[in-house]
Amino acid sequence: MSENTNANKDYAVIGKSVPRIDGREKVTGAAKYTGDLSFPNMLYGKILTSPYAHARIISIDTVEAEKLPGVKAVITHKDVPTLKYGISPARWDENIFCIDKVRFVGDKVAAVACIDEKTCYEAMKLIKVEYEVLPAALDFLTAMDEGQPQVHDEYPNNINTEIHQEFGDVEQAFKDAHYVRTDRFLGQRTYHSPIEPHSAISMWQDGKLTIYSSTQSPHYFQHYIAREFDMKMGDVRVLKTYVGGGFGGKLEPTGLEFAGAVLARITGRPVKMFYDRHEMFAHNRGRHAQYMEITTGVDKDGKILGCHANFKMDGGAYTSLGIASAYYAGALLPLTYEFDNYKFDMFRVYTNLPACGAQRGHGAPQPKYAFECHLDEIAKDLGIDPIEIRIRNARRPNTVTPNEFGVNSCEIKSCLEMARDMSGWVEKKGKLPKGRGIGVATGSFVSGAGYPIYRTNLPHAAAMIKVAEDGTAATLYTGAVDIGQGSDTVLSQMAAEAMGFVYEQMKIVAADTETTPHDFGAYASRQTLMSGAAVKQAGEEIKAQLLDMAAVILQRDPSDLEVKAGVIYSRTDSSVTLSFADAAKEFFVRRGPLVGKGSYAPPKLGGKFKGAAVGTSPAYSFCAQISEVQIDEETGVIDVLDVWDVHDCGMVINPGLLHGQVHGALYMGLGESIWEQVLFDKNGKLVNGNLGEYRLPTALDMPRVHSGLIDSYEPAGPWGVKEVGEGSTNPTMGCFANAIYDAMGVRINSLPLTYEKVWKALKEKRELEQKQNK
């Protein structure tokens, strides 16, 4: 829809929709993903998992499996380190293989390495595991009750994480309020479902381990693999080729890396491990199901005075990144609207189900769904238009949230106004025929986490640029991870802009712990701002050196010179020019390699209370979304017709890629809103661990999308950038739920907003109306 309003600024490379740097490789099928790689003498490995949700392991007999021809190794907990691991250092609770008991259907028990895949499956059938089946805790809403089965003996009442935070005085705010309302909502388990299944290939040489992995963070993998095997980080190399989507699900090392490394060491051969689609669902680490009770007090104008969020989340059998998910769920809630009094209570509960973790929007989308529905209910009760109540409460720039997050740029009010105008809200609201409805919601997200996942003083991002000897090309070396979102392209644009060079001659080497400088990777929407800041610094270092050389060649003062798009010129004499390439070549001849480096660490952020770090960020994105839906009264079928998405995401480096992120976030939000949910039977077995029955939306399910941008500049980001990829997921569920309410007058208080729930709610409403009419 709208053009990028930053494009008129005087930039040569950024702000433009250049084609992806990896486009040609990807459309020709030449792009290699981890599963496409093979190495001489390579073996294949698989992990045997538990068929029971909760059971004691009595014995494991691998003798028959070992005898099968083609089997090269069979390993269990006896063959691997017993050190517990996990991506969250606060709660390491996972073993490479289960020792005493299994905790969910899919828990890791043993692994095999064989000459081919087929033999792996045959070998696994020959491993005899004797279990004593135990009662399982499958419902997170009751798992904390007395007498429930205990998932981990170390964590009584199945409490994995408990949070109680209060800022200001919520009780007083409720006393002062004109109106106080409580609503309750339930979210579902969803799974990232990247189209590329996880793969890892491990190999050893001279005591050093190399792992090719479909990973979002080579750094965290390297850190945790080195820790598990008591190795120096320098002896572990983790790298990726192309990654076929992650969305949070490839952020932590899995059994593929840990078991694969051991199998490769025992056999002395490279071992390729992979998950099939069902195993991906079982490994999970997707979105937590959350129960959300929200109470809010407002004045007579609908201004929020205080809010109490009282949540519970289904953690599954292990912590994964769930402590952060639990904190994020409450921490990000006060971002979009301004209020001073806020209370957040949360229990993350262990159950005998696959572990949940980080998924696009990390912790925030479901609470946002709950809050946006809740706010619409308040607006209805007070007779205020839904957009009006949001504008009245909209956060302003340069404010601080009650939980001490500093917000610099913030254009949420403009986002709401633009979405209202684009969608024709004023003409439509309250005037659409029955069955047709319009709804609104907002979102916000961090542009990178203020603190890394484990405690370290490493900078968050670093970059190097090397200009080719003849000056005609430059290579960016970055630890940032392109998982499809386009960071390789955006960072190459940034490098070229900072150097005064051209994008078309940029090359990139990324995400390899050996050849590229450190970066924490692709999560928390951090790379455009954080990795970008490091890249900008590296580019500027090149530029300074180049202009210094040019000044010698041209016999001018360096301050008189500027370089842009590959041409050095004088600021005062337009007849003086020199090509970037000539100056760079001369630099190499006289001074050696032309190299620039940069690094980025955010300033110290946040307050001092427990959990204060989670949700801190140098900058926050904001967005508003409006959707129009058509409901079939007979069947409850929801047809989302149009969605208007307006973003405040700072300076836009590549508008084409940015809109691609918005469309993709909307697509994921759409799926989670209406169809997607991971389901289990009464024994904790997955019943829909495949893409068809999980109900991933197809092209036919997508509404018309109109995305708009608000001109904004974020002082904390290089060139004023901030995030877009995750924040865009946040408004969708609430937005659709509000549109459904507008269409039919029924409030669906649980996700997904299925046709069946809408049909049932309509039926109940009809029956109630009939009863009242009698």
Binding site for another protein (CB under 8 A): 17, 19-20, 22-33, 35-36, 192-197, 242-245, 247, 276-277, 483-486, 656-657, 659-660, 663-668, 690-692, 696, 698-700, 702, 705
State which residue, 273 or 568, has the beta carbon closest to another protein.
273
State which residue, 77 or 360, has the beta carbon closest to another protein.
360
Would the CA dihedral through 276, 667, 760, 630 be positive or negative? negative
State which residue, 281 or 569, has the beta carbon closest to another protein.
281
CB of 617 to another protein, least distance (A): 24
- 307: nearest Cα among 347, 346, 344, 348: 344
Rounded distance, CA 457 to CA 448, Å? 16
State which residue, 23 or 593, has the beta carbon closest to another protein.
23
CB of 41 to another protein, least distance (A): 16
Rounded distance, CA 471 to CA 283, Å? 47
Return all residues near 675 (Cβ < 8 A) that are at least 6 apart.
695, 696, 697, 701, 752, 754
CB of 570 to another protein, least distance (A): 37
Which residues are 204's β-sheet partners? 209
- As to burial, measured by CB atoms within 10 angstroms (0-12 exposed, 13-18 middle, 19+ buried), residue 681 is exposed
Rounded distance, CA 446 to CA 564, Å? 32
State which residue, 32 or 434, has the beta carbon closest to another protein.
32
Local structure of 414: helix, strand or coil: helix
Which residues are 349's β-sheet partners? 159, 314
CB of 239 to another protein, least distance (A): 17
Rounded distance, CA 473 to CA 581, Å? 8
Phi, psi of 226 (to 5 degrees): -60, -40
CB of 699 to another protein, least distance (A): 4
Would the CA dihedral through 135, 141, 147, 153 be positive or negative? positive
Q: Answer for the pair 334, 402: CB distance below 8 angstroms, yes or no.
A: yes
State which residue, 645 or 742, has the beta carbon closest to another protein.
645
Rounded distance, CA 70 to CA 267, Å? 12
State which residue, 103 or 192, has the beta carbon closest to another protein.
192
Return all residues near 629 (Cβ < 8 A) that are at least 6 apart.
436, 437, 438, 439, 638, 639, 640, 641, 736, 739, 740, 743
State which residue, 376 or 672, has the beta carbon closest to another protein.
672
State which residue, 194 or 596, has the beta carbon closest to another protein.
194
CB of 213 to another protein, least distance (A): 15
CB of 234 to another protein, least distance (A): 30
Q: Which residue has the tokens 């739920």?
A: 737
Q: How far is CA 451 from the centre of its chain?
A: 16
CB of 743 to another protein, least distance (A): 23
CB of 31 to another protein, least distance (A): 5
Rounded distance, CA 597 to CA 366, Å? 40
CB of 491 to another protein, least distance (A): 16
Rounded distance, CA 82 to CA 712, Å? 51
CB of 670 to another protein, least distance (A): 8
The tokens describing 26, both together, are: 């990807």
State which residue, 36 or 573, has the beta carbon closest to another protein.
36
Rounded distance, CA 347 to CA 357, Å? 15
CB of 671 to another protein, least distance (A): 9
The tokens describing 213, both together, are: 């992995």
State which residue, 95 or 213, has the beta carbon closest to another protein.
213
Q: Answer for the pair 1, 637: CB distance below 8 angstroms, yes or no.
A: no
| DSSP H or E run through 205 | strand 199-205
State which residue, 23 or 268, has the beta carbon closest to another protein.
23
State which residue, 233 or 696, has the beta carbon closest to another protein.
696
CB of 501 to another protein, least distance (A): 22
CB of 168 to another protein, least distance (A): 39
State which residue, 89 or 245, has the beta carbon closest to another protein.
245
State which residue, 5 or 17, has the beta carbon closest to another protein.
17
- 453: nearest Cα among 542, 522, 533: 522
Rounded distance, CA 347 to CA 167, Å? 18
The tokens describing 134, both together, are: 């135990």
The strand ranges marked E within 560-619 are: 561-564, 567-570, 577-579, 595-600
The tokens describing 162, both together, are: 């408990």
State which residue, 486 or 717, has the beta carbon closest to another protein.
486
Rounded distance, CA 498 to CA 492, Å? 10
CB of 507 to another protein, least distance (A): 17
Cα distances from 605 to residues 249, 358, 369, 645, in angstroms, run 27, 22, 27, 30
Q: Answer for the pair 628, 428: CB distance below 8 angstroms, yes or no.
A: yes
State which residue, 704 or 763, has the beta carbon closest to another protein.
704
CB of 415 to another protein, least distance (A): 19
Q: Answer for the pair 448, 526: CB distance below 8 angstroms, yes or no.
A: yes
CB of 644 to another protein, least distance (A): 14
| DSSP H or E run through 261 | helix 255-267
Cis peptide before 19 (omega within 30 of 0): no
Local structure of 487: helix, strand or coil: helix
- As to burial, measured by CB atoms within 10 angstroms (0-12 exposed, 13-18 middle, 19+ buried), residue 155 is middle
